[in-house]
Amino acid sequence: MDGHKISIDTTVDAVGLFCPIPVVRLKKELDKVQPKGVVELLSDDPGVLEDLPAWCSETGNKLLSLQKNEEGVFIAYVMKERI
């Protein structure tokens, strides 16, 4: 996010869990936060690279960023847009 710090409401640690559980857990947490709230998702399932943009596009939520860290874990920030 261009060096700007993202304010996170909650984190979903889905490391070690297979598709589609990372997305399922993300949805559950996003349902709980207020509009414009942000959920951080940690996952080592490479499926999230395409699944997350597809899920956000289909459900109307916003993928703020999706990056892989040094340990091979994907870190994504998703903002709740659909109320």
Binding stretches for other proteins (CB under 8 A)? 16-21, 23-24, 26-28, 55, 58-59
Catalytic annotation, pick one of 19, 21, 73, 75: 19
Alpha-carbon span 13 to 31, nearest angstrom:
16
Q: Within a 13 Å sphere around the CA of 62, how many CA atoms are in the beta-carbon half? A: 11
Distance CA 65, CA 32 (A): 20
Query: In the complex, what is the shortest distance from the CB of residue 5 to other proteins, in angstroms, rounded to a whole number?
Result: 28
The reply to whether 56 belongs to the active site is: no
For other proteins, the closer CB: 58 or 71: 58
| Nearest distance in Å: CB 55, other proteins | 7
Sign of CA dihedral 54, 58, 59, 60: positive
- Min dist CB 81 to other proteins, Å, is 13
The residues annotated with a catalytic role in the active site are 19
